[in-house]
Amino acid sequence: MKRLPVISPSYQYIEQSFKEWLAALGYSWQSVYYMPIQVRGLLHYLESQGKMEIADITAASIKQYYYEELKQRKNHMRGVGALSSEHLNKHLQALRKFTEYLRQTGKLQIAELNIPQEAIIDEKPTVLSEEEIKQLYHATTLVHERNKHAKGAEVYEALQYRDRAMLSIFYGCGLRRNEGYHLNTGDINLDSGVVHVVKGKGYKERFVPVSSKGIKHITEYMYDARPVLLKDDKQEAFFISYNGKRLSGQMLMLCLQSLAKRTDSTELMEKEIGLHTLRHSIATHLLAHGMRLEKIRDFLGHSSLESTQIYTHLVTETYEQV
């Protein structure tokens, strides 16, 4: 959705103005970044129907977009099925906030959206088994003709090292998606074996220990592979793409999805896997191996023990199935 074109000058203006409005009101950087991107989907949809002016944005047209476009869209993570209820609710939140912006700034007298929230039937997070985690790590060592990079074998190998480091950060350290995205090389102390999470949830920072195997993967990527991908010595981002730029959270997730497909495990590929899946998995595995809940709370950066207690249920369910 980030790359969807919007060619109408009126729509380009309204998207930028909406972003500035959110920032001026003090919304989180996540809302300021993602909500305009989600609204861009609506604007692109309207353009595809020949509606190019701000006056064409109506409650009816937004409702049509939601039910005929968003609710029919395939789940890009699986390639099949519809968007999850949680994902649809995030889009709905952005659309509601957008109509509020239009009313409050006097751009349009638009009616409030009469679209109900999607019901969240099952909030239980996906957890991978320890064997499935091993399969993901093994997938970073596989070389298939279809996976070779157009830039050559050296770049492809560097991306393999990066993917191992990605697993070591998001699974081994249990980082959230945005925490990993903002990670810089200076945030990792290889000598002491810790990752400094500077931009944690709620602006809280913490230090996360790294296992010896994780240190090995991170060191190999940092010193052997990252320089191959680097285009600018001033680039501080830890995770970078083949063109040397900071890897977005979306692209990190797609890299993980690619690894899952590379395992050729039907069961693994059928699971809805994201970066947070790795975080849920490490917490479940640590608890199953006897780590105290309070330690896991600190490891994950939870503000209360209540948030961590979900893993006691996941351990029971996951290991009862084995």
User: Is 82 or 171 the better-scoring residue by pLDDT?
Assistant: 171
Catalytic residue among 11, 65, 101, 311: 311
With pLDDT > 70 as the criterion, what percentage of the chain qualifies?
90
Catalytic residue among 19, 40, 176, 285: 176
Please give the mean pLDDT across all residues of the chain. Answer: 88
- pLDDT score at 4: 82
Helix (H, G, I), strand (E, B) or coil at 264: coil
Nearest-angstrom CA–CA distance, 206 and 194 = 10
- pLDDT score at 146: 46
Nearest-angstrom CA–CA distance, 202 and 188 = 21
Contact 244, 232 (CB under 8 A): yes
Catalytic residue among 87, 196, 201, 206: 201
pLDDT band at 142 (very low <50, low <70, confident <90, very high): confident
Averaged pLDDT, 177-186: 94
311 carries an active-site annotation? yes
Contacts for 228-233: CB closer than 8 Å, 24+ residues apart: 228/154, 228/155, 228/157, 228/158, 229/155, 229/158, 229/159, 229/162
Helix (H, G, I), strand (E, B) or coil at 304: coil
- pLDDT score at 174: 96
pLDDT band at 79 (very low <50, low <70, confident <90, very high): very low
44 carries an active-site annotation? no
- State yes or no: pLDDT of 321 exceeds 80: no
- State yes or no: pLDDT of 162 exceeds 60: yes
pLDDT band at 200 (very low <50, low <70, confident <90, very high): confident
279 carries an active-site annotation? yes
Contact 140, 160 (CB under 8 A): yes
Averaged pLDDT, 123-142: 90
- State yes or no: pLDDT of 213 exceeds 90: yes
Give the model confidence (pLDDT) of 8-24 as tens digits: 999 999 999 999 999 99
User: Is 173 or 304 the better-scoring residue by pLDDT?
Assistant: 173
302 carries an active-site annotation? yes
CA atoms within 13 Å, Cβ hemisphere of 212: 0
148 carries an active-site annotation? no
pTM for the model: 0.65
Q: Cα separations (Å) of 308 from 62, 170, 177, 315?
A: 38, 17, 17, 12
Averaged pLDDT, 108-126: 82
Averaged pLDDT, 259-281: 88
Contact 94, 86 (CB under 8 A): no
- pLDDT score at 149: 54
137-151, 212-226, 297-311: which has the highest mean pLDDT? 212-226
- pLDDT score at 87: 83
Averaged pLDDT, 183-206: 90
User: Is 202 or 228 the better-scoring residue by pLDDT?
Assistant: 228
Catalytic residue among 91, 182, 279, 280: 279
Catalytic residue among 63, 90, 151, 276: 276
Give the model confidence (pLDDT) of 49-75 as tens digits: 999 999 999 999 999 999 999 988 765
Catalytic residue among 63, 78, 87, 302: 302
- State yes or no: pLDDT of 273 exceeds 70: yes
